[in-house]
Structure 1
Amino acid sequence: MPRDESFSFTQLLPDQTATYKSLLSDFKTGDKYMEELLEREIILELKSKFFDLISNERLSFSPSEILLHMTAILKELLKADEVDFYSCQEWKQGMLLEATTRLSTNDGVISTFPECLVSELAEKPYSFIKYPEAMPQHELLLVLKVNEKLKGLFGFQMSSDTLNQLSDRFFNKLSHECNVFIEKVRSLAETMEEEKRYKQLFRVTKKFHSTMDMDAVLGEIISTLREVYPSFTYYLLLSHDHKGYGGLPVKDLEYDSDNLTAMQSYVSGQIQFEDSATEKNSIMYAPLKGKQGVYGVLQVIAPNSLVFPQNEVEFIKLLANTAGSALENAKLYEQSRKLIADLQLINETSHQLNTSLRLADTMKFICGQIIKSFNAQEVGFIMLDEDHDDYSVLQGSTSFFFSKDASRYILRIAKRIKQDMEPLFIGDITSDSEDSSLHFHSIMGVPMIQSGELKGFALVMHEEPYHFAFDTFKLLQSLIHHSTLAFTNSMLREELERMVVTDHLTKLYSRGYLDDKMNLSMLEDQQGAFILIDVDNFKSVNDQYGHQVGDEVLIQLARHIAKNIRGTDIGARWGGEELAIYLPGAPLETGVMIANRLVDKVEKHTN
């Protein structure tokens, strides 16, 4: 047939289901022109169908799906019984079945190639092999290489007649076209995947800059990686305090960690890689850095890889840099909010201290503020005497500090504060103590110093070790520093008030204070009892033993009065050797009972 008669493959083979076997039987093997023409038309039809594959919008354009269609096309055009495609797996040092026309992979097909055959194919410049001895399941192998590097194989099961009627030139061309097409497909797939990833990065960047929540930023990092690289494993190695972040894969980045590569990435701010032959993986460490510093490291583990995939490095690097900037913004925003909250706390506390509240009410307010702001469990204010040998707990402290167990903590902290005159920040008090039975582990102790003199200290505790952050400790110091003068002034004011209404000798109330309280009680209470006490022969005691002994008699009597009345009752010095007690709301019978009990105790227990 002349070349100018527009011979077409469709004219030769109008019925696509007809076999090449019957067509080839019409020609003699020696008719080179017809063989070349037929082979050329097969190649053209192959390229046409390959083009249709790429342009088919119904396909998802995944390499695996394209390879599956390729095997079907090759099976149809070469009239093979079965076609298998094996891809080169660098880690496994072999070939793995990736696509086949078989209904089941158990139909006598191998899933992997032996390493010896793979090595032979990689070393020798084969583009095809007929009747491979090492692989008798296939009559033909098409070898696919890129830059002399083995990428894959097509294995054909087909009749010897069809195989022998096609020339070596045809198989070389067929191998070349399949190789070119697969590389184009993979290149397009990588381009589309890269486009998808960068669209994802753009979307994530918008989310990063639309939130100031660190948990949301970290969660979005992991969510993006899981979506783009579902087979990888990820960890966030963070350098700052965290509380778990809602189950995210977050780890502490510790300076004494055995993971030197992660620490090197954190310190240098550069990407680091670690390949493990024993673990069969490759690990990338990408620093999460902003303009002011590095806030952690993103650890990405690629399984079954000798070297971390280079085409993924740039995307992960951009994601880490974007995330680092977002983390920095969120951290700065969080710090600014905390700073504002700290200033509000100090301002509100200072304002409260400058009001005319009683000391107990002020202490209760401050303890409540510390518990709320620092998430503390126990807060106590301990005042020391002039010699620092004894202490007292201010009213308003939490109830624990008025128990016997509190003395174990108070005495231990008081000893260290008196010795160094410095604040104490203890992450776990049991770590430097032989007493492991202590219930509270995290302790902050801040001395209350006024005019260079130690007045006492504040004690803040929690049962969990390392519960308080160092920023919290600095804030507590500032708070106590602002409060100490107000505490001292408040105590002095209340002491002065007590002195005004208190008899200097007996330490009981003055008669004026007693009169005021009795008048108020007669307006508000239904009843009350008044007891007047006189010391018999008091003048003779003064004359015989002196006024100093007489004063001691009154002091002894006043002490018994104070011990035998309630906190709401009023003991006072009526005048001279006369003392008085007023019991608001009490009936006369109660007054008589207390008076008789007092006479009895004075007779038995005074000198």
Structure 2
Amino acid sequence: MSDKLHHPLPYYPVENAKKLDESSLEPYVLHLDRQGGVLSQRDELHQLFKDWIGRSARYLRSFNGSLELFDSFGQNIGFYTAENFLHPLYRDGTAWTEELLERTAFSQCKRHQRLVTVDDSTYNEGALRGCVTCAAPLYNPSGECVGTIGILAGPVQDHALLEALLESQILSLQQFSMSGHSARTALSLSGQINRNERELRKWEMLFEMTNKLHAQIDVNAVLTVVIDCIQELYPFVMLDLLLSQDHHNGALPFKLLRYQSGEEDICAKAFLEGELFVYEENLGDGIRRREIAAPLSGNQGVYGVLHLKYTCDTVDPAELSFITLLADAAGTAFENAKLYEHSNLLVNELRLINDMTQKLTQSLSLHEIFDFACGELTDIFKGEFCCILQKEEEKERLVVKASNFNRLHYEHLEPGTGYSGLVYDRKEAIIVSDYDPRFHVSSKLMELSKSKSLMAAPILGGGEVLGVILVAHREPHYFSYDNFKLLQALCSHIGLAITNATLHAELQRLVIMDQLTGLYARHYLNNQVQEMQKKDFCGSLIVVDIDYFKQVNDTYGHQVGDQILMQVSGILASSIRDTDIAARWGGEELAVYLPKVGKQQALRVAERIRERVMNETRPGVTVSCGVSDWFWEDDKISVESLFYKADMALYQAKHDGRNQIVMDQSRSFTS
């Protein structure tokens, strides 16, 4: 076997390969970096050869022979045979064998890693008889031998021409690999530039968004900035904004966060744990569904979750940190806006409470307080119905004192009835978001008004329930938690106003009432008679004196004397109308004024009193009565003259023997 060796190259075993300068290996260095390392080096070499043949087929038409490609292990992985060349192996239906390769330039080239030509004298028999083989090694940029390429041709005389032809083909292959490498490098650089620009834009947008967020003091504005930023960066993503608090705004995609949606709910997990969660699902056909839940975290807690959903792998996992930063910035801004909103709400509530308290304390009339509070509460909470009930001490029940719902006027509720009874018993406020009589406490207000939302709070005073306030609306979920807290605050001030008015009324009662008899005091009687004489046309006065009252005290003691005085006072109070006024005149003397009553009717009332005292007192006593009257045509009409005439008549009755009635010293009626 005669070998012709040309262009000797240094031998660099694969295991000791090192980076070489490309000029020392030309034209044998190929750039095998296809698919970013996805393909093996053998597959890359085969793919490069295949692509090169496809691109260079028209230039190989004049070539008479077969181009053969072998990997680093000496196995044939590709070939190209000219149309006018009949390959000796494929003609006989055989293939390259190790024994057959051993006599060719392909095997020698693999062994020596040099350009090798083996002429036709070697193949004097067998399938390759009369053929010439020429082969050269191929390297990667690191100096590793990755394979062998060679020519199988018919008999040729000029081996140098064959070798030049092979080198030209290798140069063409090398240029093709370099052009592909350049294109891939350019594409990679372009992609990197795009990624860098996008990354830069992301951080610029984060910076801009952070500035905008910190400039906002409105919750809706904060959330709008966040949503706009995400939709600009990720237009392919479906976005939901889940908030832990009820937020009314139909222009933005808000949803109420459900805390108990199941263990697989990443939104609930993100909210409860304050960390970003990712869920992926393979939908088949290379399509994946991904969900990202990023918590809106502030210094004081988590306020909601950004929920992103998409069906293709378009978000780099490295961007999860960016989404986390974005959500944190949004959470901090949301918290600041909420705190500002809450502070404004508190200021407004304090101003409202102060104004309402001032107006409530201006009136000491319970009726005015109830009416004013009912109107104010309706305006403050924009409720459709308001009802205020007061506890009635004598009968232990709740009575409607003010309401803008006419069907409830003068209604009274027994203990434990409806929401009013529930609030009264528990001394706690309640809120109902969606009333249903099948599942809730039966309520007359809710059923008659067809309301769905209700706030009910007790009016407390001195630790006791003075009454109950109900505010209702037909729309479900109408009242917020802030409304509920404000109502409770207002109820305490309304309770204070009711307590003050009640104490004032009690003080007024104590001032005008006699503590022993329970009758009015003399000065109150004087004032009332004076006022009635200005508007009435007539009236009568009865002065009553207990006969021999000193003897009763001396005989039975002052305690029994007081009981006699109370018995006679009770008889007076029960013998007259509600519009009449009974008072203690002084000592054992009592008086009754009968407005719009003439002398004859007054005498009958006095006689009734005299008889009842004589028959009902124990120990038994009698009374003497003096009666006087006035008429609008009289010359002198005054309280003093009326009392003087009645007193003179009483004196006459005493003088005439007691237990009798005298009218103006002129008429007497004995027992």
If the TM-score is normalised by the length of the shorter chain, which range does it land in? 0.5 to 0.7
Q: Which residue does the alignment assign to 1:471?
A: 482
Counterpart contact for 2:374–2:387, Cα < 8 Å: yes
Map 1:351-430 → 2, pairs under 5 A: 351-356=358-363, 358-387=365-394, 389-395=396-402, 397-400=403-406, 402-403=408-409, 411-430=417-436
Map 1:25-424 → 2, pairs under 5 A: 124-125=43-44, 126-127=47-48, 129-130=50-51, 167-244=172-249, 246-258=250-262, 260-278=265-283, 280-305=288-313, 308-356=315-363, 358-387=365-394, 389-395=396-402, 397-400=403-406, 402-403=408-409, 411-424=417-430
C-alpha spacing 1:500/1:572, structure 2 compared with 1 (3 Å): farther
Length-normalised TM-score, structure 2: 0.52
CA distance in 2 between counterparts of 1:481 and 1:272 reads 46
C-alpha spacing 1:239/1:488, structure 2 compared with 1 (3 Å): same
Counterpart contact for 2:397–2:412, Cα < 8 Å: no
Post-superposition offset of 1:323 = 0.7
Q: Which residue does the alignment assign to 1:451?
A: 462
CA distance in 2 between counterparts of 1:321 and 1:550 reads 81
Name the SS of the counterpart of 1:274 in structure 2.
strand
Post-superposition offset of 1:434 = 7.0
Post-superposition offset of 1:276 = 2.4
Q: CA-to-partner distance for each residue in 1:295-340, whole Å, 9 max, x for gaps? A: 11111123322x8422432332221111111001001111111122
CA distance in 1 between counterparts of 2:383 and 2:41 reads 68
CA distance in 2 between counterparts of 1:350 and 1:548 reads 41
Post-superposition offset of 1:491 = 3.6
Post-superposition offset of 1:518 = 6.8
How many residue pairs match? The answer is: 408
CA distance in 2 between counterparts of 1:495 and 1:263 reads 58
Counterpart contact for 2:392–2:398, Cα < 8 Å: yes
User: Would you say 1:432 and 2:449 are equivalent positions?
Assistant: no
Post-superposition offset of 1:421 = 2.9
Counterpart contact for 2:398–2:412, Cα < 8 Å: no
Q: CA-to-partner distance for each residue in 1:449-496, whole Å, 9 max, x for gaps? A: 333433222222222333333333233223222331321221443466
Opposite residue 124 of structure 1, the aligned amino acid is D
Counterpart contact for 1:428–1:466, Cα < 8 Å: yes
Q: Which residue does the alignment assign to 1:566?
A: none
Counterpart contact for 1:128–1:175, Cα < 8 Å: no
C-alpha spacing 1:251/1:551, structure 2 compared with 1 (3 Å): closer
User: Would you say 1:554 and 2:576 are equivalent positions?
Assistant: yes
Counterpart contact for 1:510–1:572, Cα < 8 Å: no
Name the SS of the counterpart of 1:282 in structure 2.
strand
Q: Which runs of 5+ in 2 are unaligned?
A: 1-25, 55-168, 542-567, 581-593, 606-628, 632-671
Name the SS of the counterpart of 1:328 in structure 2.
helix
C-alpha spacing 1:190/1:240, structure 2 compared with 1 (3 Å): same
Opposite residue 384 of structure 2, the aligned amino acid is Q
CA distance in 2 between counterparts of 1:132 and 1:283 reads 46
Opposite residue 555 of structure 1, the aligned amino acid is R
C-alpha spacing 1:121/1:437, structure 2 compared with 1 (3 Å): farther
Counterpart contact for 1:448–1:480, Cα < 8 Å: yes
CA distance in 1 between counterparts of 2:509 and 2:483 reads 37
Name the SS of the counterpart of 1:267 in structure 2.
helix
Q: CA-to-partner distance for each residue in 1:44-88, whole Å, 9 max, x for gaps? A: xxxxxxxxxxxxxxxxxxxxxxxxxxxxxxxxxxxxxxxxxxx99
Identity between Structure 1 and Structure 2 (%): 28
- Which deviates more from structure 2 when the two are superposed, residues 348-357 or residues 225-234? 348-357
CA distance in 1 between counterparts of 2:49 and 2:373 reads 86
Opposite residue 257 of structure 1, the aligned amino acid is S
Post-superposition offset of 1:376 = 2.7
C-alpha spacing 1:510/1:206, structure 2 compared with 1 (3 Å): same
Matching residue within 531, 534, 538 for 1:516: 531
CA distance in 2 between counterparts of 1:455 and 1:346 reads 19
C-alpha spacing 1:360/1:250, structure 2 compared with 1 (3 Å): same
Counterpart contact for 1:283–1:308, Cα < 8 Å: no
Opposite residue 480 of structure 2, the aligned amino acid is A
Counterpart contact for 1:286–1:297, Cα < 8 Å: yes
Post-superposition offset of 1:250 = 1.0
Opposite residue 255 of structure 1, the aligned amino acid is Y
Opposite residue 344 of structure 1, the aligned amino acid is R
Name the SS of the counterpart of 2:475 in structure 1.
coil
CA distance in 2 between counterparts of 1:364 and 1:124 reads 92
Counterpart contact for 2:540–2:596, Cα < 8 Å: no
CA distance in 2 between counterparts of 1:169 and 1:371 reads 88
Opposite residue 250 of structure 1, the aligned amino acid is F
Opposite residue 457 of structure 2, the aligned amino acid is V
Name the SS of the counterpart of 1:455 in structure 2.
strand
CA distance in 2 between counterparts of 1:207 and 1:273 reads 28
CA distance in 1 between counterparts of 2:40 and 2:538 reads 120
Name the SS of the counterpart of 1:394 in structure 2.
strand
Matching residue within 495, 503, 511 for 1:484: 495
Structure with higher Rg: it is 2
CA distance in 2 between counterparts of 1:422 and 1:388 reads 22
Post-superposition offset of 1:403 = 4.6
Q: CA-to-partner distance for each residue in 1:568-595, whole Å, 9 max, x for gaps? A: xxx9466985599x9xxxxxxxxxxxxx
Opposite residue 302 of structure 1, the aligned amino acid is Y
Counterpart contact for 1:282–1:308, Cα < 8 Å: no
Counterpart contact for 2:296–2:303, Cα < 8 Å: yes
Q: Which residue does the alignment assign to 2:86?
A: none
Post-superposition offset of 1:123 = 9.7
Name the SS of the counterpart of 1:555 in structure 2.
coil
